[in-house]
Amino acid sequence: MWCIFFVTQEEDSEEEPKLKYERLSNGVTEILQSDAASCMTVHDKFLALGTHFGKVFLLDIQGNVTQKFEISSVKINQISLDESGEHVGICSEDGKVQVFGLYTREGFHENFDCPIKVVALHPHFSRSNSKQFVTGGNKLLLYERNWMNRWKTSLLHEGEGTITNVQWRTNLIAWANNVVRNPSLQSNVSPTCSTFFERRPTEMRDLPSRYVEIVSAFETEFFISGLAPLADQLVTLFFVKENPEHMDVEFLARPRLDIIQPLPESCEEISSDALTVRNYQENECRDYRLEHSEGESLFYIVSPKDVVVAKERDQDDHIDWLLDKKKYEEALMAAEISFKNIKRHDVQKIGMAYINHLVEKGDYDGAARKCQKILGKNMELWENEVYRFKTIGQLKVSHSQVTSNFSFQNNNFACLQL
């Protein structure tokens, strides 16, 4: 079950939204009544939700609970899944790290003497013999099984504060820490050799096989709680702490989900929505997470007492918006072009709504002209429209349109004139 979720747009009312929102309910609603969400990860097959009371729930895409794990008594900091969705890594604020199969609890279980903020499994963890994964607290550590089936640990990074985020793609690991600097990259092929690059544009010779190139850099006026890709754009979850001069009071403290177009030294705002998540007045920047499904454009806004799903609007949503704005001509054209793809709309019903709109406006000539295209050879619809035009004293207006669609040979027109 999905719940309708309402947003407020800062943009002019004539600006069509880019995303639509629904609240994840069912089991999630019940969980968050007595607990609070701390993190989430998204797989094509299911969702995994961590809570402040140390539990991890596996959910279907409708929010129904399929499995539950009691991991700790304190906050779950991060959950990681491999590409197959068969193994999960979990870390918590009390230093516990668990990596295990969802169909067997055999795996890695360790307690550290400091909070572990992040964990990331190798994308091919299930298929790999070495079973690599990394953890981040005050150090970034790589774990892998050796030929004796024992766990081997390698130090990848330390000395720059707490590791706050880790992402693993193919054989590269990217992480961030509390020190303000460029992201770091590490190849897990050679964990003892870590290199960080700040290359000037003129230094083109003797480049390594892998290097970091900054393609866009810009500042925002809000705190960023999360980023996710959308084609060549970015979906950004902002936390508004203070009141900028141009922002209404109603937007204060609400998280904002923006779509921005990165430029080399700036960015362009494509859309901006203020989200009314539950208990938003009590939340801070650190309480929000943004997760996304790479298989489809789904974005999950996670807050302690709410999980909201954002998705790209489809052609039916576009037609809804056009009809709501009384742009019937454009709605009819959009439906005609996409009639094979629309699921909730019907071309003829939109056309009838257009005729009704023209009649209500008093544009009887325009309504009569549209009848020829929209009603076609449907005798019942023509009879209804002719009767309506007669009732409002505009029968002559519809006369030419009727005669051009029906011959006199079968007395159709005489019947329609009542």
Domain architecture of the chain: domains with CATH: 2-313 (2.130.10.10), 317-416 (1.25.40)
The DSSP result for 218-238, as a single string, is: ---SSEEEEEEEETTEEEEEE
E strand or H helix at 262: strand 256-262
The DSSP result for 37-100, as a single string, is: EEEEEE-SS-EEEEETTSEEEEE-TTS-EEEEEE--SS-EEEEEE-TTSSEEEEEETTSEEEEE
CB atoms within 10 A of CB 359: 19
Helices 379-391 and 395-405 meet at what angle, rounded to 10?
160
SS in 3 state form for 269-288? EEEEEEECCCCHHHCCHHHC
The answer to whether 328 and 354 are in contact (CB under 8 A) is yes
CB atoms within 10 A of CB 42: 20
d(CA 76, CA 117): 9
* β-pairing verdict for 289-293 and 267-275: unpaired
**Predicted TM-score of the model (pTM):** 0.83
Query: Would you give per-residue pLDDT tens digits along the chain (418 residues)?
Result: 455 555 665 444 578 899 999 999 999 999 999 999 999 999 999 999 999 999 999 999 999 999 999 999 999 999 999 999 999 999 999 999 999 999 876 788 889 888 999 999 999 998 888 899 999 998 999 999 887 878 899 999 888 888 989 988 888 888 888 775 445 555 544 333 333 444 445 555 666 777 777 889 888 888 999 999 998 999 999 998 766 565 555 556 789 999 999 999 899 999 999 999 999 989 999 999 999 987 788 999 999 999 999 999 999 999 999 999 999 999 999 999 988 889 999 999 999 999 999 988 888 888 888 888 888 888 888 888 888 878 877 776 555 555 555 544 344 444 444 4
The DSSP result for 362-416, as a single string, is: T-HHHHHHHHHHHHTT-HHHHHHHHHHHHHTT-HHHHHHHHHHHS-TTTTHHHHH
Query: Which two three-digit tokens encode residue 401?
Result: 């349109």
Residue from 45, 72, 73 nearest 59 by CA = 45
